[in-house]
Amino acid sequence: MPVEAATPPPMRPDIVMSWRRSRLSGVEPTRALQVDLTADFDQDSRLLRSAMPVLEQLGQEIADAGLCLLLADRDGRIVRSVVDSTTFARRVENLGIVTGACFSEDLAGTTSLGTPLEVRRGVVVNGPEHFLERLRGLSCYGSPIIHPATGRVEGVLDMTVEDPRADPLFIPFVDRAVREIERRLLDGSKVSQQRLVAAFQDTMPPPHAALAAIGTDMLLHNNVAANLLSSTDYVLLREIAAELRPGERRRIDIELACGEAARVEAESVIGSEGGAIFVVVPLLPEVSHVPRGVHVNAAPPRLSVDISRVAGVEGPVAVCGEPGSGRSTAAREIAGDAAAWLDAADVVQLGETQWLQQLTDAAGSSAPAIVIEHVESLPESIVAALKRLLDRDTGPRLVLTSPPLDDLALSFAALVARCPGRIDIPPLRRRRLELGAISRRMLSELEGKWELTPAALAALCAADWPGNLSELASALRAASQTATGGRIDLRDLPTRYQDTGRITHLGGRERAERQAIVDALANASGNKVHAARELGISRSTLYSRMKALGIPS
């Protein structure tokens, strides 16, 4: 590593601290910039709507001055650039400074795009002060764009020049443009925010109930909410808001981050850009905290109700769901700890005769129940014997586990259908509103005391989870091994779960459409022609919707 890469230039405390953060994030000075050329930016986002008129005016003012203007979003990702000459534009592009390039400090080190996001103020970065070697021929000034109503950083505006030092006049020039963008942000959000504020003021919650109003770029709450709700709870409430149709009301029982059960009355506010009012009422008795090391079922409350109902009814039970969705846990709760367990997958190793003998022995034992996992793996010769056991009125109760009914061959679907009791466990991707509570239960079983930050929870909610609960448990276990201080943040998650994705910003109808396309592609083994035929749309429409909904091709 070059000598200058080890120590930043002297006399600049902001730069010294930024270099320290860059090294702690694992950034190497020789690293190339990360560019996502497939990124599908919202061309009608509030940031771009507010900034484009300003950028167009600035483009005229910097003509033939050898300057470059860059607009980045709150993640440090470039969404627009204005360069005053084709020659300079080509040199900038060769450095990797293009739309889609990410300049957050944990990826690009010290820059005037990423560092202002960290310190929430304007930063000058002269040539040798850049952490990445490839950027040291440039000097820049970047200032964060902060929404005047919410105080949230919406993006960064940067001015760049090929020179060892930035011109001091960059600061007032860029700051003036930033103030104009912020004014436009405020004007554009006033109407929707006023509607949400009015709905908040008109809502009279019961005594001791939390009241919150959540919009795309604002949050209001009463004193009870300030004491009761955590930032993680607000992530869950935003998920509920995304599921609401305009003007819809919904009542949902949830578990708060503190472990307390609560009832949520949610109402979408028309004309507020997805805003909603929430009245949160704690339910008594309070949910007791689970001691470390005690096994906790990861099933959400409504599944627990279904399991309790089926457990109290006589007769065979089928527990259906995708692999890793919690079938075995549900079967154990129904059958009890004294049940005999058999796995149909063991037939290959033991042979049909020996496996069937084990089933016969269990059927004649005093065990209260027999759990047979993976019944879809049974050979036809054993299926016939199992049917006879299902029809018996005496002997241990049978509890079968299998994939969803629609995924079973006809003979096994008929076998499952003979069970008067059946529980269909939804996949984790359809439990996004319950993912926070499920994660907390899983974290309680790990060594140490852990909690998820809102950013980490939002990223987990955006994942598709083909491995369901087993995959989530593995991801949380891996994150706990790298996290410190008892908090699991976004950067602690395995890399493939760190993208919050566009799915967290989709409405309920768009999420349902996205899931239908994902399921159709899975059924067609990725063949888009067959998937389009199953969905009843053209292949070009399928490609268009995949891109719009953030589905990888």
**What residues pair up with 141 in beta bridges, in sequence order?**
124, 159
Distance CA 51, CA 47 (A): 6
* Mean pLDDT, rounded, for 273-288: 76
**Cβ distance 115 to 140 under 8 Å?**
no
Average confidence score pLDDT of the chain: 83
Full DSSP string of 150-179: T--EEEEEEEEESSSS--TTHHHHHHHHHH
Amino acid occupying residue 165: R
* Mean pLDDT, rounded, for 307-328: 86
| Cross-sheet strand order for the sheet of 421-424 | 340-343, 369-373, 397-402, 317-320, 421-424
Shared domain for 134 and 24, answered yes or no, is: yes
Shared domain for 215 and 354, answered yes or no, is: no
Give yes or no for residue 198 having a pLDDT over 90.
no
Whole-model pTM? 0.48
Of 159, 168, 163, 187, residue with least CA distance to 61: 159
Domain membership of residue 295 (yes or no) is: no
More confident: 82 or 538: 82
Domain membership of residue 289 (yes or no) is: no
The last residue of one of the domains, among 503, 523, 539, is 503
Domain membership of residue 197 (yes or no) is: no
Tokens of 348: 């290959």
Shared domain for 101 and 234, answered yes or no, is: no
- By residue count, the chain amounts to 553
Distance CA 71, CA 77 (A): 8
Domain membership of residue 198 (yes or no) is: no
Tens of pLDDT, residues 161-179: 999 999 888 999 999 999 9
pLDDT at 297 (0 to 100): 42
* Mean pLDDT, rounded, for 285-289: 44
The last residue of one of the domains, among 384, 403, 426, is 426
Tens of pLDDT, residues 389-398: 888 878 899 9
pLDDT at 286 (0 to 100): 42
Shared domain for 252 and 104, answered yes or no, is: no
pLDDT at 511 (0 to 100): 63
Shared domain for 127 and 161, answered yes or no, is: yes
Shared domain for 25 and 160, answered yes or no, is: yes
For residue 364, count CB atoms less than 10 angstroms from its CB and return exposed for 0-12, middle for 13-18, buried for 19 or more: exposed
Domain membership of residue 488 (yes or no) is: yes
The last residue of one of the domains, among 426, 446, 476, is 426
Shared domain for 148 and 159, answered yes or no, is: yes
* Mean pLDDT, rounded, for 335-357: 90
Tokens of 226: 């300030």
Domain membership of residue 543 (yes or no) is: yes
pLDDT at 472 (0 to 100): 93
CATH number of the domain within which 63 lies: 3.30.450.40
Give yes or no for residue 11 having a pLDDT over 70.
no
194: pLDDT confidence band, cut at 50, 70 and 90? Answer: confident
Tokens of 41: 């930016």
pLDDT at 302 (0 to 100): 63
Shared domain for 339 and 448, answered yes or no, is: no
Give yes or no for residue 454 having a pLDDT over 60.
yes
Shared domain for 366 and 410, answered yes or no, is: yes
Give yes or no for residue 540 having a pLDDT over 80.
no
Give yes or no for residue 546 having a pLDDT over 70.
yes
Q: What is the DSSP letter of 133?
A: G
pLDDT at 287 (0 to 100): 40
Domain membership of residue 291 (yes or no) is: no
pLDDT at 5 (0 to 100): 45
More confident: 489 or 273: 489
pLDDT at 116 (0 to 100): 94
* Mean pLDDT, rounded, for 354-371: 91
CATH number of the domain within which 468 lies: 1.10.8.60
For residue 17, count CB atoms less than 10 angstroms from its CB and return exposed for 0-12, middle for 13-18, buried for 19 or more: middle
357: pLDDT confidence band, cut at 50, 70 and 90? Answer: very high
Give yes or no for residue 290 having a pLDDT over 50.
no
Shared domain for 116 and 21, answered yes or no, is: yes
409: pLDDT confidence band, cut at 50, 70 and 90? Answer: confident
Distance CA 458, CA 84 (A): 39
Tens of pLDDT, residues 31-61: 887 776 555 556 667 888 889 989 988 888 8
524: pLDDT confidence band, cut at 50, 70 and 90? Answer: confident
- Say how far residue 192 (Cα) sits from the centre of its chain: 26
Shared domain for 370 and 415, answered yes or no, is: yes
**Residue range(s) defining the domain that contains residue 529:** 506-548
Give yes or no for residue 10 having a pLDDT over 80.
no
pLDDT at 516 (0 to 100): 76
Where are the extended beta strands (E) located within 299-448?
317-320, 340-343, 369-373, 397-402, 421-424
pLDDT at 298 (0 to 100): 41
Indicate the number of domains in the chain. 5
pLDDT-above-70 percentage for the chain? 88
Domain membership of residue 487 (yes or no) is: yes
Shared domain for 223 and 364, answered yes or no, is: no
Tens of pLDDT, residues 85-119: 778 888 888 898 988 888 999 889 999 999 999 88
CATH number of the domain within which 512 lies: 1.10.10.60
